[in-house]
Amino acid sequence: MTVTLKLEPLLEEQLRQRAKLSGRSTSEVLRAALQAYLAQPEPGPPRSAFELGTDLFGRHAGPADLAAGRKRAAVDAFAARHARRGA
């Protein structure tokens, strides 16, 4: 199959230089680049933050009411710390 490809002058020059340095023709360099591109897995649809973190949710243990009882927990921790100092 023959394909015509239009390149910007700078890109064309870079292609020619790469081909010359590697001792290959520009067609060989383009074929190798296209094969490498097509060998990559097809990108799927973007995933949400929830989908990305699903395997992490629920892994940590602790009080279930930590947010609701945060002030009481802070007072208890402060009192326990100062009780140890006073003893």
Domain extent, residue 17, equals: 9-39
Those residues whose C-beta lies under 8 Å from the C-beta of residue 29, and which sit 6 or more positions away, are 15, 18, 19, 22
**pLDDT confidence of residue 19:** 97
Is 79 inside any structural domain?
no
Look up the pTM and report it: 0.50
**pLDDT confidence of residue 62:** 67
Task: Encode pLDDT of 17-38 as tens digits.
Answer: 999 999 999 999 999 999 999 9
Number of folded domains in the chain? Answer: 1
Is 22 inside any structural domain?
yes
Is 48 inside any structural domain?
no
Is 65 inside any structural domain?
no
Query: What distances in angstroms separate CA 24 from CA 7, 14, 16, 38, one per listed residue?
Result: 19, 13, 10, 20
Per residue in 24-58, is it b (16+ CB within 10 Å) or e — as a string?
Answer: eeeeebbeeeeeeeeeeeeeeeeeeeeeeeeeeee
Task: Encode pLDDT of 49-67 as tens digits.
Answer: 988 888 887 766 666 666 7
